[in-house]
Homo-oligomer: A and B are copies of this chain.
Amino acid sequence: MQATMFYGPEDIRWEHRPDPKIELPSDVVVRVTAACVCGSDLWGFRGFHPEGDPRPIGHEFVGVVEEAGAGVATVKAGDFVVAPFVISDNTCVNCRNGVQTSCLHRQNWGGLDLHGRQIDGCQGEYVRVPLADGTLVATPGQPGKELIPGLLALSDVMGTGHHAALAAGVGPGRTVAVVGDGAVGLCAVLAAVRLGAERVIACSSHADRQAVATRFGATDVVAERGDDAAAVVRDLLGDTGADCVLECVGTEASMDQAMATARPGGRIGFVGVPVGGSQVRIGPMFQRNIAVGGGVAPVRAYLDELLPEVLDGRLDPGPVFDLELPMAQVADAYRAMHERRSIKTLLWP
């Protein structure tokens, strides 16, 4: 098959790889219908996490089961499936607690399985899926092509935005500010609107992203940055901060902005992977009773709730994809996102 390999900073290659096959009874092999590039894939591309060896890359995809191992019970050949961005058994104590990203048997796309065998990255034609019963969720039938972007978003960004909203306690009557206008931040806007927030303030200085935020139901858009943005939010909310702040970037500046945006007693839900010195400052948390929760989103936990809504059209995070490319042009997809010409790029095989 053809699949994507990460060789190092700015070196992404579409190349020949071994065809995956069933290695364990709990495996399935999926033919990828659509995959995409994640903001976190860009770190390596940008040189943040230099790796010695070429490695398979990509952790978001939807597809059709090609073959199922003898021990797989919940999906079968021909099923259309959504794959969360981590592999989990969905039965251990942490999975039962709804934290599949801390599964005791967690495995990562592009990493090694529990027996040391290579797991495929997801920006490719086929993927071997370990722990298929715990990881994949099948749709009732074959979704139309128009639903693919929305379903693909459930693989990571929509579930991650939803996680930020839950961690921040979003609900009816709440005022919400979203820091970050990437695909996750935009999905966080959508999640907050879906959860009934009274006010959803998106922070974005880019017209294209502001447009998606508004389409997703943001009641206000703030174009300022940092402390200025926090001050504008406080003004909008009558000189207090937001009940709930969704931090969807992961930098020191974005976390500080989130802290300055929350009202006393407010909550920050953070899902931006902490890079570049991001920290949670205990001083303002303590003095102003700002709670901080969130982390690596257990999107598997949310599929049961979100998938039916995407299938029947009530929920459509698909517009976060503003560029579609053939997978063979995967390197262009990375560049487009790296240069912020695309919010999120969808790859068709």
Which residues of A approach B to under 8 Å, CB–CB?
93-94, 97-99, 101-102, 167, 238-240, 255, 263-265, 267, 270, 273-274, 278-283, 285-296, 298
Contact = CB atoms under 8 A, between A and B. Distances in A.
Given A280-B280, A282-B280, A293-B267, A288 B93 contact: no
A278 to B, nearest CB: 6
A323 to B, nearest CB: 28
- Chain A contact residues: helix, strand, loop or mixed: mixed
Given A285-B292, A291-B294, 15 more contacts: A93-B238, A94-B265, A98-B265, A99-B264, A101-B289, A102-B265, A102-B288, A255-B282, A267-B293, A274-B286, A278-B282, A280-B292, A286-B294, A287-B296, A293-B293
Copies assembled: 2
B298 A289 contact: yes
Nearest to A243: B97
Contact of A263 (B94, B267, B296): B94
A93 B287 CA distance: 16
A99 B265 contact: yes
Contact of A285 (B263, B264, B288, B295): B295
A283 B296 CA distance: 11
